[in-house]
Amino acid sequence: MGSARQPLLFEASWAAEPPLLANPDVGVARLVTRGPSRSFTSDVTLLDSTDHRLLRAGVVLAHRVIDSMGEWYMDAPSWSPWLPVDCSIALDAAGELPRDFTCLVKPFLRGATLTPSAALSCDRREMRMLRGDGSPLADIRDDRISVVESGVTTSRAREVTITPRTKLSSTQRDWLVTRMIALGATEVEAFPSTLERLGPRAGAMSDVPRSVPPNVAATLEGFVSNRLIRCLRKVMEADLKARSDGMTLRSGSAAHPVEKSREPGVLPDNRLPDELLDLGGDPITAPRDGIHDDGRHGRIDKLLAAVAKLRVVLEGLSDLLEPRWVSDLTRRIDRVLVLDPDSITVHRLPESYYQFLDMLVTATRAPKLLGDGNVPARPVLAERIRTGVREVLERCDQLDPEIDHGWARARHAAESAASLVGTLQGAGGTRKLTGRLGKVARELGRTGSVNPGPTPEQISGFTPEEAFEAGRRLERDLDQQHEARAEFLEEWPERRRRIIKATKA
């Protein structure tokens, strides 16, 4: 049995009469109709891509008309505080979608067109159950909801919610449940979400999940997908944090707070037109300069940092993935990383950024693996790590202070091994091993890969004084390089021992 204050939820017949719940014997004296703000008709037009990218990501964007009053609406509890929760904005004279809303959904759409995807109609009637002394006992909300897609009614539902206003006795709750069942209703634990109302076609996996399903998480494909999903979420969070910078979209109201952990909704809780005045003006018609154009908001520094971390992870996974696919995604990443954060804000990101996001979303669903993705991940990754560490040891064991290219190959091996082991951070001793390999890679970076110095073409254009200075500079650089190599070789036996120890941990 549920809590004495927990609402009772029922699915009822569409054509059934309103439930008449009165029984003085159990303390339910009579029913009264609530005020006009509690009984109304609302028509909702959901805005989304044709494949429901917003809804699948937990973002509801809609145009609502409640008793002839229009408003724009957004609800995204799983993306709070960057996206608003239960936020309504009154229509302005132009009737266009608020620019803030358009901006916030762009990374979810990733170039897809925003169109009306479905229409929901809700006819709501509310009543209140009273005790014999006239005090409220519970509220009854009776919703008739219909869904229309492409001009065709695809579903209709009748949902009755009984919300206790005070603690109900077990006798009262049992009577309410028995009475509703006798009227043909079925008790349920929860009503369908907005996405579920649109049917199985819309109920696919989110484009930005938190992880892969548990039944595939231990496989190689599941492991790679989870690593890419974590990177995708970091990129999305950095993007949305930048986009929401300077926005003043409120979530709900002080009088009607909302629960941020719930499923996103679209049906209004009540009809209170005056609340719209508390939500500020439409961003399009606000008198001040818009944050989308002033260049002071939406810096992309942290977004670029998240993309750079993705590049490191991708390099660490590169041995497991198809080279051509890795090259394609790396190329798209590099197009993003060259963006100048001092001249480009998140509101002016080029189309190449959204193409990169779209490819990354696809990668999280089905990474292009070289082998069988259904095999257990741990043995495969352990072997890859042993191979990478073995290559680092072999390369460094063969180093000679006078052979340049050996140092370049050793540095590349250490960087690759550190990236690969970094994909397993937090599992066993991999964090320590990652740090030691990374330190070796950094020390090798000081040793130089080829002798520095000007090219013959540059030398031919030097004056005698410039050639003399270039020679002195080259001599100093070579001395520093030789010292760095000698220092590395001196410390290598101890570093080698510590790497082997971390490998066995």
Whether residue 463 sits in one domain with residue 359 = no
State whether 316 and 241 are in the same domain.
yes
Choice between 442 and 504, residue whose per-residue pLDDT is larger: 442
DSSP SS3 for 82: coil
| Domain-embedded: residue 303 | yes
> Does residue 356 sit in the same domain as residue 408?
no
Cβ atoms of residues 83 and 240 within 8 Å: yes
* Whether residues 258 and 141 fall in one domain: no
Q: Is residue 215 part of a domain?
A: no
E-strand stretches of 180-274? 186-188
| Other Cβ atoms closer than 10 A to 440 | 26
Provide the domain count of the chain: 3
| Position 420, amino acid | L
> Measuring CA to CA, how many Å separate 148 from each of 118, 192, 428?
6, 16, 53
Please, what is the average pLDDT of the chain? Answer: 83
* DSSP string covering 409-458: HHHHHHHHHHHHHHTTTTSTTHHHHHHHHHHHHHHHHTS-SS-----HHH
Q: Judge if 251 and 189 occupy the same domain.
A: no
Residue 290 pLDDT more than 80? no
Q: The CATH number of the domain where 62 resides is what?
A: 2.40.320
The two three-digit tokens of residue 394, written as one number: 């072999």
The answer to whether residue 208 sits within a structural domain is no
Residue 212 placed within a domain: no
**Which of 168, 202, 236 is where one domain is finished?**
202
- Annotate 325-382 with DSSP letters as a single string: HHHHHHHHHHHHHTS-TTT--GGG--HHHHHHHHHHHHHHHS--BSS-TTSBHHHHHH
Q: Are residues 239 and 134 in the same domain?
A: no
Same domain, 71 and 101: yes
Q: What mean pLDDT comes out for the span 470-495? A: 81
Is 228 found in the same domain as 148?
Answer: no
- Regarding whether 311 and 400 lie in a shared domain, the answer is no
pLDDT (0 to 100) of residue 120 = 92
Q: Residue 485 pLDDT more than 50?
A: yes
Domain of residue 460, residue span = 383-504
Tell which residue, 151, 160, 138, has the closest CA to residue 17.
160
77 and 162 part of one domain: yes
Q: Identify which has the larger pLDDT, 460 or 367.
A: 367
User: Is there a domain that residue 160 lies in?
Assistant: yes
To the nearest 10°, report the CA torsion of 350, 352, 358, 361: -100
Is 285 part of any domain?
no
What's the whole-number mean pLDDT along residues 398-417? Answer: 84
The residue out of 365, 393, 409 marking a domain boundary is 365
pLDDT at position 276 is: 31
| Per-residue confidence (pLDDT) for residue 241, from 0 to 100 | 95
- Report yes or no on 268 lying in a domain: yes
Residue 252 has pLDDT above 80, yes or no: no
- Dihedral pair phi/psi, residue 461, rounded to 5°: -95, 0
Quick: pLDDT tens for 446-474: 887 555 555 666 666 667 776 667 677 76
Mark whether 461 and 355 lie in a shared domain.
no
Q: Is residue 373 part of a domain?
A: no
| Rg of the Cα atoms in the chain | 31
Question: Is the per-residue pLDDT at 350 higher than 70?
Answer: yes
Whether cis (ω within 30° of 0) applies to the bond prior to 376 is no
My answer on whether 15 and 73 are in the same domain is yes
Q: Which of 169, 202, 235 is the last residue of a domain?
A: 202
Q: Does residue 337 contact residue 308 with C-beta atoms inside 8 Å?
A: yes
